[in-house]
Amino acid sequence: MTSAQLVVVDDEVAHMRALCDTLGFEGYEVTGYHSPSQALRALSEKECDLLLTDLMMPEMDGIELIQAARAVNPDIAGVIMTGHGTIDTAVAALQIGALDYVLKPFRLNVILPVIARALDIRNLRIENASLQRREREQALALAAAYRDLESFSYSVSHDLRSPLRAVRGMTQIFLEEFGSGLPEGGRQRLDQAIHGAERMDQMIEDLLRFCRLTRGTPNRRRIDMNAVIHRVINDLRIADPQRRIDVHIDPVPECLGDPGLIEQVVVNLLSNAFKFTRERADAQVKVGCYHLEKDGREEDVYFVRDNGAGFNMKYADKLFGVFQRLHSQEQFPGTGVGLSIVKRIVERHGGRIWAESTPGEGAIFSFYVSREP
């Protein structure tokens, strides 16, 4: 480890030399000057960690010297040496940037801790400045990434979706104008092309929604989860009035979060429960809450349980990935983005989501969000 470099300035030459020798024996690299102006010239040419200067000197007092030295090297630590009669002036030196002062005459066991403390403070300030600089650089990089994301979103929304819509539109026009003259096989092929274009358009829309969740800060406030759950269930029943499904809803506590985002979590989880119980004659969904001890505090864990298709827990790590699917498109339509959106929302609220399942026996999705604003 490199020794700290000290500069001692005192117009009493004998005192200055004695102090330089003493600190040198303690492992510091010490240079002494009896003239403040001479010391300043040296400081402009060499590295220095700490300036130890007498307060009262005829050419320039210690306060002026520390100010001038900090103009040359802003990271330099300054310590004032003074007699008992000038303590008030020494305190004034602390106000302009000196880190400490020692009283003359002083003992070695007094001045060494002062120097060590001043060097520690200097190092902490340098590290803090470095951290702040990196934070600013990261903030600039993040802002640039957001701009790139905006550009990407615009490109996807306009440059990619426009030709896709043209393919779908022209195919539909062709079917309307010439469909009656096509063999059944040819018409099926064109219907598949339209369906594929529609699916691609939906995947792009889901991807854009996923990207939008990386921006902004959730607007958190208290949410009546009972009202949200009943509203979503009612909407799902209206969307499929012929569906027969037994839904049991336990009373649940409020949660702290962004109302729009938290409702999107509930919509995704309940929509999946409705979808994956579609082939069950006795389809059942239960929504509720239980308490979980985590890091010394109790969390409200909301859950959605169904008795649907379920999945193999061996593939559970893929469940929340973008465009990841554990069932075929033919069996259960979808893009595989919904659960990745849910995971992103929950994590942005300081929470966690997980799932448990057995194939053919249903699944339970559980999540909590932080109670801290």
Q: Spell out the domain ranges in the chain.
A: 5-106, 133-212, 221-368
The model's pTM: 0.50
Fill in the amino acid letter for 301: V
Q: Could you give the CA distance from residue 290 to residue 279 in angstroms, rounded to a whole number?
A: 29
pLDDT tens profile 75-124: 888 888 887 656 676 677 677 677 787 887 778 888 898 888 888 888 88
Residues 6+ apart with CB under 8 A from 299: 291, 292, 293, 368, 371
Confidence of residue 155 (pLDDT cuts 50, 70, 90): low
Q: Which of the listed CATH numbers 3.40.50.2300, 3.40.50.1000, 3.40.30.10, 3.40.50.300 matches domain 5-106?
A: 3.40.50.2300
Question: Quick one: fold of 221-368?
Answer: Heat Shock Protein 90 (3.30.565)
Higher pLDDT, 139 or 119: 119
Confidence of residue 129 (pLDDT cuts 50, 70, 90): confident
The proportion of the chain whose per-residue pLDDT surpasses 70, expressed as a percent, equals 80
pLDDT tens profile 165-189: 788 888 888 888 887 878 888 888 8
CA-atom Rg of the chain in angstroms: 36
Alpha-carbon separation of residue 358 from 304, 315, 339, 342 (angstroms): 15, 11, 18, 21
Mean pLDDT comparison of 118-122, 207-211, 222-226, 234-238, highest-scoring range: 222-226
Alpha-carbon separation of residue 105 from 36, 54, 89, 99, 108 (angstroms): 21, 12, 17, 19, 10
The predicted pLDDT at position 108 comes to 84
250 pLDDT more than 80: yes
Tell me the average pLDDT of the chain.
81
**Lowest mean pLDDT, pick from 151-155, 185-189, 315-319:** 151-155
Confidence of residue 324 (pLDDT cuts 50, 70, 90): very low
In the chain, the DSSP E strands lie at 5-9, 29-33, 50-54, 77-82, 100-103, 221-223, 246-249, 255-257, 284-294, 297-306, 352-357, 363-368
